[in-house]
Copies of this chain bind each other. A is one copy, B any other.
Amino acid sequence: MKTLVLVGHPEIENSTTQQFLKAAAQPLSDVKWTAISEPIEVETQQALLKQADRIIFEFPLYWYSAPAILKLWEDRVLTNHFVVEEKALVQKEFGLVVNFSQKESAFVAGGGEEFTLSEILRPYQALAHKAQMKYLPIFSIPQFAYLTDEKRQRLLVDYQVYLSAPAKPSFDQKTDWLLNRLEASDFPANSQLVFDEIKNRQAELEDLKFQVSEIKAGELDE
């Protein structure tokens, strides 16, 4: 599965969040991580979109949507012909990676921002609907600057899963994917701990599943 990440940020080089995510995406061979910049070459961009199975818009939330550069990309590249007549994006997956300075809890009715992220990002969901793409759950990154090293490590893994694991994975699919990646050792060396932790948890999970199936079998015998 091929993933295309389109990053909309006016100063990517100065964004610690985007530099972190760029580094996190780098080991993933099926992920193309690109920063949108002018001039926008419509045909090149459309060709990239066609090759992708999963398309990700990645951006900081500026006034409740993407920075202008990403909107410019949409206005130019997503022609009516390409999206509606040619149906070039049908059945592709479409995800959003959005970072912001507020706490996640601000995005509720009565909270500091009054509306949920799902509501605020509705224009992208409407685009997915129009293009007949499968809209993925939003990947939100609140207050990146305050994350501890441990939380950054978890973010890195979750982000990699979002870019390249099956959409809406089950716990099993997620752990399988992670174990494969870890064993392929395209992860940083210090992730041995994560590796062990996951293996332990998976063993535990399989134990529990066995117990549940035993109980059920018992019930059927009665």
Q: Which residue of chain B has its CB nearest to the CB of A80?
A: B101
* Interface membership of A169, Cβ < 8 A: no
Give the distance to chain B from A126, nearest Cβ to Cβ, in Å: 4
Total contacting residues, chain A, CB less than 8 A: 27
A68 near B75 with CB under 8 A, answer yes
B120 near A119 with CB under 8 A, answer no
Give the number of copies in the complex. 2
Q: Which residue of chain B has its CB nearest to the CB of A69?
A: B68
* Interface membership of A20, Cβ < 8 A: no
A71 near B74 with CB under 8 A, answer no
Point out the residues of chain B lying under 8 angstroms from A82, CB to CB. none
Q: Which residue of chain B has its CB nearest to the CB of A64?
A: B123
Give the distance to chain B from A71, nearest Cβ to Cβ, in Å: 4
* Interface membership of A67, Cβ < 8 A: yes
Point out the residues of chain B lying under 8 angstroms from A75, CB to CB. 10, 62-63, 67-68
B123 near A123 with CB under 8 A, answer yes
Near B by CB (< 8 A), chain A positions 127-166 give 127, 129-130
What are 20 contact pairs spanning A and B, CB under 8 A? Answer: A10-B75, A62-B71, A62-B75, A63-B74, A63-B75, A63-B78, A63-B123, A64-B123, A64-B127, A65-B65, A65-B71, A65-B123, A66-B71, A68-B68, A68-B74, A71-B71, A113-B129, A114-B129, A115-B126, A119-B119
